[in-house]
Amino acid sequence: MTIPESPVTQLLTAVAELLDAAGVGVWSTGAATYGPDDVAIFRGTERTVDNPQIILNWVDTDQHPEITQGTGILQVAIKGVARQPGSVDDIGYAVFGVLHGLTARPAGPAVIVQCLRRNSVPMGQDDKLRKERADQYDVDVEWPPTSHRP
């Protein structure tokens, strides 16, 4: 049995593709090799590459019981360039430029109705001396219908 991709997977893929198309980072669904200047985009957790990284995650926060509208938090974790503390903010503001204020954007079978940054939190640095931060975006979504929410 093959389980189909969830609307959340498709939404995060659409966000990754949007960031890639804007030149903010490089998204690959395969075993990509990243160039030394590439900002690698991942879903879920960081990877063991030396590149700066954008890591996307989704948190459902509110789903209407009768209609397909809902809200969630798009978490964008960012690791900068080693020994360049300002690079994490440079990447973060490039992401901000693409996502903050985004409206009516198809994301697989869902539609991002509105995306607004909630906060940006410094998270220290990793063992490779890359500064880290986590940005959270409030996202209103029109999800695809289900048998309970036509």
How confident is the model over 21-51, as pLDDT tens digits? 999 999 987 767 788 899 999 999 888 889 9
In the chain, where are the structural domains located? 7-29+36-142
Q: Nearest CA to 74 among 54, 94, 90?
A: 54
Contact 110, 141 (CB under 8 A): yes
pLDDT at 78: 98
| pTM for the model | 0.94
pLDDT at 92: 98
How confident is the model over 43-96, as pLDDT tens digits? 998 888 899 999 999 999 998 888 899 999 999 999 999 999 999 999 999 999
Would you state the CATH architecture of domain 7-29+36-142?
A: 2-Layer Sandwich (3.30)
pLDDT at 63: 86
Contact 95, 135 (CB under 8 A): yes
User: What are the b/e assignments for 81-112, b being 16+ CB within 10 Å?
Assistant: bbeeeebbbebbebbbebbeebeebebbebbb
- Cα 146 to Cα 113: distance, rounded to the nearest angstrom: 18
pLDDT confidence tier of residue 7, bands split at 50, 70 and 90: very high
